[in-house]
Amino acid sequence: MNQVAPASPSKKKILIAEHSGFCYGVKMAVDKAFDLATTSEKPVYVLGELIHNPQVIDKLKEQNVKTVKSIDEIPAGSACLIRTHGVDPEHIDSAEEKNIDVSDATCPDVRRVQERALELARDNYTVVVVGKEEHPEIIGIMGHSKRIPGSKVVAVNSPDELEAALEGLPKSRIGIVTQTTQLEDTFFQVVAKVARFAREMKVYNTICPATFKRQTAAEKLAHDVDLMVVIGGKNSSNTTHLAEVCRDAGTEAVHVETVEEIMNHPLLAQAEVIGVTAGASTPDWLVQEVIQYLESLN
């Protein structure tokens, strides 16, 4: 009697989120940085990390593009690239005073938030910016609002922070904007709470379309897989939020920066269907390395 050889284990099924990886604003900034590195006759500096991805920052360093924390670290007569998150406009003023050539790589969506916040401050609204106060994008947005003498602007990352943040400030007219990478639910919760006490509100939903699409696609995919692998910088807000969205959908999520972090991960063993998504500041080559490794698993 012939024995039938046992079937070899089938390969894991890998599904990729419809929207993931570089957004248009990040791609524009990265392209501008590498172009400046090869064409500028002056030393090139970036004020703060261009994007929240350590691997891209390392590649820029290889091209002699230096990342600094303040204008004081940039020699007079150099070239300075403004990060995608934008900066407090006072830094640009300081750079120009030192005869530094400023090239602005602020994401167009971030610039739109800066403009809205400035408009609200000019119209005498108390400005509430939904996001982490220490995040560079929020620092830049608040800096633009504060250009208006007597402006009142606060940052909150949840509705629970509102009462303390607004203590002693006028609450009858409130204007609200949000960090472009904020979770939509958090933004709506803040708006709902402000609506309970403000007599007049002006609200701009400034979550960027790319962020919304990534979060929606990640949540949708999370329902169809056993495990989500989220690729991107650990210091990236939008990537961290993608992992949160997946977990909120009831699916375990592993947040990694590189393929080495997912290799032999214990959660891979039991997962038959694996979903993959990536933050807006994650380059395609990092994503492909992870996908190729996952596809090699049996």
E strands, the chain, where? 13-16, 44-47, 65-68, 79-82, 101-104, 126-130, 152-156, 173-178, 200-203, 227-231, 253-256, 273-278
Q: Which of 49, 137, 219, 244 is catalytic?
A: 137
CA pair distance 152, 20, nearest whole angstrom: 36
Q: What is the dihedral of CA 251, 254, 257, 260, to 10 degrees?
A: -130
CA pair distance 256, 267, nearest whole angstrom: 13
Closest CA relative to residue 102, chosen from 140, 46, 64: 46
| Residue at 4: amino acid letter | V
H helix or E strand, kind and range, residue 108: helix 108-122
**Residue 100: helix, strand or coil by DSSP?**
coil
Whats the size of the chain, residue-wise? 298
Dihedrals phi, psi of 204, to nearest 5 degrees: -120, 120
- Are 254 and 267 in contact by the 8 Å Cβ rule? The answer is yes
184 bridge partner residues:
none
Structure tokens that stand for 161 in this block = 């922070």
**Residue 164: helix, strand or coil by DSSP?**
helix
- Are 207 and 238 in contact by the 8 Å Cβ rule? The answer is no
CA pair distance 152, 134, nearest whole angstrom: 17
244 is catalytic: no
Active site residue ranges: 137
